[in-house]
Chains A and B, each alone.
Chain A
Amino acid sequence: MTVTFSPPPPPLPVRDRATAQDRTTGALSPMLRRLAEEEATGVLEREHGTLHLAGGRVVHAESPHAPGLGVLLTAHGTLATAAWQRAAEAGGPADAAHRLLEAGLLPEGALALCHLDALYDAGYFALSPSSTPGRFRYDSTPRRGPLPSVPVVQLERETLHRRLLLHRLWPDAAADSAALVRAVPAGTAPVTPRGRAVLDRVDGVRTAPEIARALGRQAFHTLVDVRRLTAAGLVRPVSVPYHPPYAPPAPPPPPLTVTDPDIALLKRLRDALEAL
C-alpha cells in the first residue's frame, strides 16, 4: 500500500476587508498613499501646499498659509535673517534646515524641533481638501539627512487629528482664512496670554495665517487661538455680517458668463450631478 502525501491546496484568496479598510482609512490623498508605498522620492504639489518626499517619507513641507522654518527661526531672533537667507539661497528652503545643521549655527535639538513644527504645520494645509488634483514630480533632490522625517501615514493621522481638534473648539472654519475683526462678546471670557497676543493683532484686515506670520508662530497654533476667540465671541470673520438689521434683499446675481471654465469646478459639478 502506498500512501502519497500531497501538499494541501493553497487557501483560496480572501479579500481581507479589515486590511483593505486599514489601507485607505485616513488617507487624505490616495496619490500620496501610493507614493509612500512605492517609497517615491520627489515633490508633491497640491492646491494649498507642497510635500517633499524622500524614500516615501515626508522630509519637508511648504504652504503659503504656514510661516515656515525661516519665519519661525528669525521672528524671535533665534537665527539672524542674513544667516537664514544664506542657507535658503544655497539650496532652496527645502534644504535650508540641513544646511543650517551642517553650518552648526543652531543646536541640533532646537533645529530638529523647529523643523518638525514647521513640517507638521505646513503639512496640515498641504493636505487640506483641494479642488484641483495634485501633481507629483519625481526628483532626486529631496534627501533624508540627520533631521527627522515623518511617515506619510503619521502626517495624515496628525492632520486629521488637528482638523478634529479645531472642529471641537468651534465648528465653523470661516475664521481660518478670512480677514478677522474684533467683536463685542456677550459675556466676559478669560483670554489666555497667547490668545491675547493674537487678539491684539486682529485689525479687520489680517487673516489668521497673516497673524501667525506677524507673531512668528505656527499657523495651526494661531488657528487654535482664533477658533477659541471666535467661540468666545471676541473675534469674527469680516465676511460674516454682524447685526444685519434690515438688510434689503440682495439683487439677483447677474447671469453667469464664463469664458474660461475651471475644469476642476466642472468636474465637481459633473460628479455631483452623477451622484444625484
Chain B
Amino acid sequence: MPGIDECLLEAMRLPGARGAALVDWTSGLALGTVGEAPGDDHETTAAEAAELARLAAEHGAFAAGGSDHGGPPVEDLIVSNRDSYHLLRFVDTTFDSSVFLHLWLARAEGNLALARIRLGEMAARLVLG
C-alpha cells in the first residue's frame, strides 16, 4: 500500500519523467512533490496546474454529466508542449476531495500513451491500496 511519496516516486520511474506532484485543485496546494518543476518552482506550477484542472472539472462543456459520487467526470488532461508533456490525472477518492496527479514528461524520452495508463493505475492504487 503506497503512501503519497511512494506514488510520486513510482511516477518518476516512467521514461522521460521530469517531475511529479499531488495537487489540490481547489486551493492550488501541492500535497507532495518530487523531481523538477518548470522554472524550478513546484509551488507556482501547482497553483497554475490547479487553475487548469479546476476549469476542466467545473465547466459544463467538459464536466457535463457528472459522476455518481460527486467527482468530476474528467479523467485526465494532456498539455503538449514543444519539448514536454504535462499530464494531469484526477484522483477519484471515496471521501470528498479535489486532487490530481501532475506528471511532467520530457517529450523526447516520454511515452504519452504509456504514461497515461500508468498514471491512471497509480491514482487508483494511491487511494485503493
Q: Which residues on the B side are within 8 Å of A116 (C-beta)?
A: 4, 31
Tell me whether B60 and A110 are in contact (CB under 8 A): no
Tell me whether B29 and A76 are in contact (CB under 8 A): no
Is A162 at the interface (CB under 8 A from chain B)?
A: yes
Map CB proximity to A onto B12-31 as digits: 1 under 8 Å, 0 otherwise.
00000000001010111101
Tell me whether B97 and A113 are in contact (CB under 8 A): yes
The A-contacting residues of B in range 1-44, CB under 8 angstroms, are 1-7, 22, 24, 26-29, 31-32
User: Bound complex: CA of A224 vs CA of B26, how far in Å?
Assistant: 8
Q: Knowing A161-B28, A224-B26, say if A218 contacts B96 (CB, 8 Å).
A: yes
Name the residue on B nearest A158 (C-beta): B29
Is A112 at the interface (CB under 8 A from chain B)?
A: yes
Tell me whether B4 and A77 are in contact (CB under 8 A): no
Is A146 at the interface (CB under 8 A from chain B)?
A: yes
User: Bound complex: CA of A67 vs CA of B48, how far in Å?
Assistant: 28
Tell me whether B95 and A76 are in contact (CB under 8 A): yes
Is B45 at the interface (CB under 8 A from chain A)?
A: no
Residue among A72, A109, A194 making CB contact with B70, cutoff 8 Å: A194
User: Bound complex: CA of A93 vs CA of B129, how far in Å?
Assistant: 23
User: Bound complex: CA of A221 vs CA of B2, how far in Å?
Assistant: 26
Map CB proximity to B onto A211-224 as digits: 1 under 8 Å, 0 otherwise.
00001111011001
User: Bound complex: CA of A268 vs CA of B97, how far in Å?
Assistant: 39
User: Bound complex: CA of A47 vs CA of B46, how far in Å?
Assistant: 31
Name the residue on B nearest A192 (C-beta): B58
Map CB proximity to B onto A109-140 as digits: 1 under 8 Å, 0 otherwise.
11011101100100000000000000000000
Name the residue on A nearest B32 (C-beta): A148
Tell me the smallest distance from the CB of A169 to a CB of chain B, in Å. 11
Q: How large is the interface on B (under 10, 10 to 19, 20 to 34, 35 or more residues)?
A: 20 to 34
Tell me whether A197 and B27 are in contact (CB under 8 A): no
Tell me the smallest distance from the CB of A70 to a CB of chain B, in Å. 11
Q: Knowing A108-B1, A110-B129, say if A193 contacts B27 (CB, 8 Å).
A: no
Q: Knowing A158-B29, A193-B63, A193-B66, say if A109 contacts B94 (CB, 8 Å).
A: no
Is B78 at the interface (CB under 8 A from chain A)?
A: no
Chain A interface mostly: helix
Tell me the smallest distance from the CB of A57 to a CB of chain B, in Å. 15
Is B93 at the interface (CB under 8 A from chain A)?
A: yes
Tell me whether B70 and A197 are in contact (CB under 8 A): yes
Tell me the smallest distance from the CB of B31 to a CB of chain A, in Å. 5
Q: Which residues on the A side are within 8 Å of B95 (C-beta)?
A: 72-73, 75-76, 78, 110, 114, 216
Is B127 at the interface (CB under 8 A from chain A)?
A: yes
Is A190 at the interface (CB under 8 A from chain B)?
A: yes
Chain B contacts to A: CB under 8 angstroms: 1-7, 22, 24, 26-29, 31-32, 58, 60, 63, 66, 69-70, 91, 93-99, 125-129
Q: A109-B126, A113-B126, A224-B26 are in contact. List 15 more A-B contacts (CB 8 A).
A: A77-B94, A109-B3, A110-B93, A110-B95, A113-B97, A114-B93, A114-B95, A148-B4, A148-B31, A192-B58, A192-B63, A193-B70, A216-B95, A216-B96, A224-B27
List 23 interface pairs A-B (beta carbons < 8 Å), by A numbering: A72-B95, A76-B96, A77-B94, A78-B95, A108-B129, A110-B95, A112-B3, A113-B4, A113-B22, A113-B31, A113-B97, A113-B127, A114-B95, A116-B4, A120-B27, A120-B29, A148-B31, A158-B27, A161-B29, A194-B70, A221-B26, A221-B96, A224-B27
Chain A contacts to B: CB under 8 angstroms: 72-73, 75-78, 106-110, 112-114, 116-117, 120, 146, 148, 158, 161-162, 165, 190, 192-194, 197, 215-218, 220-221, 224
